[in-house]
Structure 1
Amino acid sequence: MATSPLPAAPAASPEVAEIERALNRITYLSTRARQHERLMALAGVPLDRAAVALLRQVADSEPLRSGELANRLGVEASHVTRTVQQLQKSGYVTRVPDPDDGRAQRIQLTDAGRLAVEAIRDAGARGMQLALEAWSTEDLRQLATLFHRMVDDFLARAALVEEGEG
């Protein structure tokens, strides 16, 4: 069955184009290998970026099946399987029976995994605190509110596209 192409989106406003540019800049800065290595050194956690992304996702919504993790991370299931195996060998995650399907398993953080996520988040927040130390509390609150709103809108839009409505 052939799928029809998505309709062309309207041209972006200059404000949206600037937001997109700023997001690309911050994504680049936060995903550089050197930045990741610095963050892992501060956190005392020797993990690659894929493992950190998976740990964070499990911490925010555990326990999940591997397929659901792959969906949420936007990666292939085989990638999640390899990363989970690595994290399991390191003692950060464990597999538990799925209460809804006895044949399936879910991925759950261990105590070591929870401590690792806390250390990573703390190290990241400390670095961000230093970078934003001149910002007022109100500006920080407003930025956090707008970021959460933007992410919620992105997720809602992605759901519409997946349903074929957008």
Structure 2
Amino acid sequence: MTSELPAGLDVDFELTRFVRRVRARSLRSLGEIHPRLDYGSFTFLLLICDAPDGIRGSEIAEELGVHKSTASRAIASMEKLGLITRIPDPDDGRAHLLVARPETEARVAEYRRNSHERLLALLDDWTPEEVAVFARSLTRLNDRAETEF
């Protein structure tokens, strides 16, 4: 495949533009989860919610590509807000896993439902085939990015 894009098509620009809009919308909606939750901690919280058996802080730092101290500050903030808790790691008695509190999981699930509904509204004039092609293309892009970035 050639690395040149068709004239007038700037995928990077359009992805950045979309991510900026999603981030701005997310910032306005974080209060649904907690009124003092910031966007930086939100990204950590999503990883914790997506690990129902718990996740170590070091795993979060690695997954997000941040320094452990950055992860530690975000984790401490979420603990202070009462969004997450620590449980003993069953595989290593010296370590702890981070888990979302049940009420946090419920709020994040509702946030995600609302977000999904907003996305469906954006795609309401697309054909099912267009949505399927777009979803497959995004999956392919993300799969490749996981190995290349």
TM range (shorter): 0.7 to 0.9
- Indicate the residue corresponding to 1:70 in structure 2: 61
Q: Would you identify which runs of 4 or more consecutive aligned residues in structure 1 move more than 6 Å?
A: none
RMSD between aligned residues: 2.1
* TM-score (structure 2 length as normaliser): 0.83
Q: Distance in 1 between matches of 2:20 and 2:65?
A: 18
| Structure 1 residues 1-166: aligned runs within 5 Å | 12-14=3-5, 18-32=10-24, 35-41=25-31, 43=32, 45-46=34-35, 47-62=37-52, 63-158=54-149
Q: 1:146 is aligned with what amino acid?
A: S
Query: What stretches of structure 1 of length at least 5 have no aligned partner?
Result: 1-10, 159-166
1:61 positional shift: 3.0
* CA shift digits 1:54-96 (9 cap, x unpaired): 1111222342110110111122211211221222222221111
* CA shift digits 1:69-128 (9 cap, x unpaired): 011112221121122122222222111112222211111111012112112212211221
Q: Distance in 2 between matches of 1:150 and 1:115?
A: 30
SS class of match (1:104): strand
Native 8 Å contact 1:39 1:124 kept in 2:
no
Q: 2:45 is aligned with what amino acid?
A: L
1:44 positional shift: 5.3
* TM-score (structure 1 length as normaliser): 0.76
Native 8 Å contact 2:48 2:100 kept in 1:
yes
Query: What stretches of structure 2 of length at least 5 have no aligned partner?
Result: none
**Percent of aligned pairs with the same residue?**
25
